[in-house]
Amino acid sequence: NYPFKKVVGVERYEEFHQTALKNIGKFSKSKCQCESIELKCIDAAYYSWPIEPLILYFFNPFSVDILKQVLSNIEVSIEKHPRPLYIIYYAPIIFRGSPWDRRRLFDESKHLMVVKAENDFTLYRSSYREADEKIDKILAKADSKKLRGYSALIVGMGVSVDSVSAS
């Protein structure tokens, strides 16, 4: 129920893409505050990032090799089109600093900086000099009132709504 300009869901596998489509079908359109929802069945390593302000949500979606490619593509996109860009990286069972913690790849990026870090998630933003500190605070608090100009790209939408609500 965040008031984004647009939400784009990206899934690599057709089965997960179909589950995401079903999830959208279950979502109450009257509660939707965004202008549009799009779902794409594509490998995120080859996805062309929109050149508008973005908020990316990653639910621990990739192997190390794919994540490196995705981050490389994000960095190229930021270099070509400087803009505010945020990444919420959620890894619920992988604690920061553990050998399999992939956040180290984000931490090594020359274009991303940590806004907030917890054990199971980290909020990053582009080092683009005009990134909005107000948005940093909104995202850190999960407050949503001022996100209308942003598009959200969610990688890993293919989790069943039923299984999410059961947990």
- Mean pLDDT across 114-121: 83
Token look-up 């939707």 returns 32
CA distance 143 to 121: 16
**pLDDT (0 to 100) of residue 157:** 38
- Mean pLDDT across 123-146: 63
Please, how many CA atoms are within 13 Å of residue 85, restricted to the half-sphere of its CB? 23
Checking if the pLDDT of 40 tops 60, the result is yes
**pLDDT (0 to 100) of residue 133:** 62
The pLDDT tens digits of the residues spanning 49-61 come to 888 888 888 887 7
pTM: 0.73
**pLDDT (0 to 100) of residue 72:** 93
Confidence band for 70, pLDDT divided at 50, 70 and 90: very high
Checking if the pLDDT of 45 tops 60, the result is yes
CA distance 44 to 132: 26
Per the prediction, the chain carries an average pLDDT of 75
- In the sheet with 121-126, reading across from the earlier edge strand, the strands are 36-41, 6-11, 151-155, 54-59, 85-90, 121-126, 112-117
